[in-house]
Structure 1
């Protein structure tokens, strides 16, 4: 599975993104670990106002305290919560269709199987990023 996040400022401008490949097959662990890492990275970069959007509802519920943290990630979640306590923090759910950049990063991560951080936008994200930023629709087609 691939851990990934895109960081934007309050105007929707690109601030950075990462994709990391982990050989973890449990989707809850992967999604929660990606969210925890995003908060910790933001904290380490000095970004103190965070709005985390996640397309995995269970992760949103964990951050909101209505679901329990898997024990395997409880120590990391404690570190994350320490960071959150010194931030303005909000977490919300986003439907997967509204997150096409994440799909592109996931594809990159699975293919490359490396850890990657971008300070400037990679060309493979450009079209999806600007489509999303300009509130243009995103369609998914499937051949039957």
Structure 2
């Protein structure tokens, strides 16, 4: 969609109370990545990592002055809570600082399956293992493959 920026985010916890990482990136309407970030969160649950990844990416979108934002997250629980206006205690203060920004822009949040979010999934796991945040992310070979597929408009499917 022209004029819209697409934000993908993911959180990962190794052991679901273990080293946690968050990652995300923003693309323009031509599928070009304009911002990427991975952060080590310390010890956390998977749900905490997912929600913190979302908040970090929205903070970054605010810094970049995006006015139309489509957020895509593979955590159905996070998406549902945001759509209902519910916020867990551990991000309450950070989310409160974003309210005026979100009220002043066009935005939406949607759920996607993990298969549609592989780049940030890999990066979140990588930062949790490495225990170091980075805004200059080196692309693992598998991520480069996914980026090329995305640029071609290739779809990913989930089969049961």
TM-score over 0.5 for the pair: yes
Q: Supply the RMSD in Å over aligned alpha carbons.
A: 2.0
Q: CA deviation at 1:139?
A: 7.5
- What is the number of equivalent residue pairs in this alignment? 137
Unaligned runs of 5+ in 2: 1-19
Secondary structure of the corresponding residue to residue 24 of structure 1: strand
Match of 2:139 in 1: 123
Tell me which protein shows more strand as a share of its residues. 2
Residues of 1 paired with 2:144 and 2:21: CA distance?
A: 20
Q: CA deviation at 1:83?
A: 1.6
Q: CA deviation at 1:96?
A: 0.1
Q: TM-score, normalising length from structure 1?
A: 0.84
Secondary structure of the corresponding residue to residue 98 of structure 2: helix
Displaced runs of 4 or more, over 3 A: 137-140
2:111 to 93, 99, 102: 93
Q: Does 1:35 align with 2:54?
A: yes
Secondary structure of the corresponding residue to residue 117 of structure 1: coil
Alpha-carbon distance change, 26 to 126 in structure 1, aligned in 2, over 3 angstroms: same
Q: TM-score, normalising length from structure 2?
A: 0.76
